[in-house]
Amino acid sequence: MFLFRRGPARVTPADAHLRTRGEDAVLLDVREPAEWAAGHAPGAVHAPLSALQAGAALPPAAQGRPLIVICRSGHRSQRAAKLLTGRGAAAVDVQGGMNAWAAAGLPVVVGHGNSGSIA
């Protein structure tokens, strides 16, 4: 049994929402394009984990800023936060991902601002 957790910290959806509204932190959504298109958090920046793993740079809006990483369930965001932390970024991930975000009653939108869903 491990007594100490290795890797980046985790935050709740409510904490992520507060930290990306009032601070300089960016909510970085690492889901794939079809998932993003179905619905995402307002103001989130999209950078698929597959692209990050292939060496892609962060989108300009996320560069040099604290990152709060989110996916659908929290598994990919953990991997992405670890990858980004290894690159020198300040990154944490959201426990439960977008599923937990939506369950907490936080907004989910599509590109044109209408209500979205979690794919």
Q: For residue range 38-87, what is the model confidence (pLDDT) as tens digits?
A: 999 999 999 999 999 999 999 999 999 999 999 999 999 999 999 999 99
- Does the pLDDT of residue 30 top 90, yes or no? yes
Tell me what percent of the residues of the chain surpass a pLDDT of 70: 90
CA 56 – CA 23 distance, rounded (Å): 25
What per-residue confidence (pLDDT) applies to 6?
Answer: 53
Return the active site residues. Answer: 71
Query: What element of type H or E holds 20?
Result: helix 13-22
Contacts of 111 (CB under 8 A, 6+ apart): 37
Q: Is the pTM of this model over 0.85?
A: yes
The SS3 call for residue 44 is coil
Contacts 24+ apart (CB under 8 A), 45-52: 49/76, 49/79, 49/80, 52/80, 52/83, 52/84
The identity of residue 56, as a single letter, is: A
Which residue, 20, 68, 69, is CA-closest to 49?
69
